[in-house]
Structure 1
């Protein structure tokens, strides 16, 4: 896996914008979740399939060209929390846990 930067500028031509939503593109939450899990996988060296999202909140929409900062922090009981920010604005937050084997 190529190294991911915790700061990501959303590409204007991201394929998710094609249907979400024409004329008013909004990045789907699943894209944010995917990137957060991939960053955790990179940091912790664990298989992405070994994580489950236990909580997610989508607080503010983001679109093409937005610069997003992903912040991961160790949480309780072996879990991790994440926050996605666009400037001073929180876009999403959540928690994920290692899945049992």
Structure 2
């Protein structure tokens, strides 16, 4: 089984943060999924096709570092996990496409 790992950090100046949530910004789930898509592109040269499952268990704050892990899960499916200091923030399954 092969995989991919990358550290991600969403800077406090990211344009999605002021609206999510004013005064106490959290990194939106869609931005985390964007990191999954960027990792998939870097690892396999594929685009994100479909998000089959995504669960967000704990917040990522601006300027915090997290570890993105991608693993093959059969056919065109990829499992992802995003962790910060051993705490699982998000996990799910996506499909890649050419």
* TM-score between both structures, scaled by the size of structure 1: 0.84
SS in 2 for 1:16: coil
* Unaligned segments of structure 1, at least 5 residues: none
In the alignment, the residues of structure 1 paired with residue 71 and residue 26 of structure 2 have an alpha-carbon distance, to the nearest angstrom, of 26
Alpha-carbon distance in 2 for matches of 1:41, 1:27: 21
- 1-structure distance, mates of 2:42, 2:63: 24
User: Residue in 2 aligned with 1:16?
Assistant: 16
Pairwise mapping of residues 1-101 of structure 1 onto structure 2 (< 5 A)?
Answer: 6-46=6-46, 48=47, 51-98=49-96
Tell me by how many angstroms 1:77 deviates.
Answer: 2.4
CA contact (8 A) 1:10 1:68 kept: no
Q: Which has the higher helix share?
A: 1
Segments of structure 2 that go 5 or more residues without pairing to the other structure are none
| Bigger strand fraction | 2
Q: Which runs of 4+ in 1 moved over 2 A?
A: none
Q: CA RMSD in A?
A: 1.7
Name the SS of the counterpart of 1:6 in structure 2.
strand
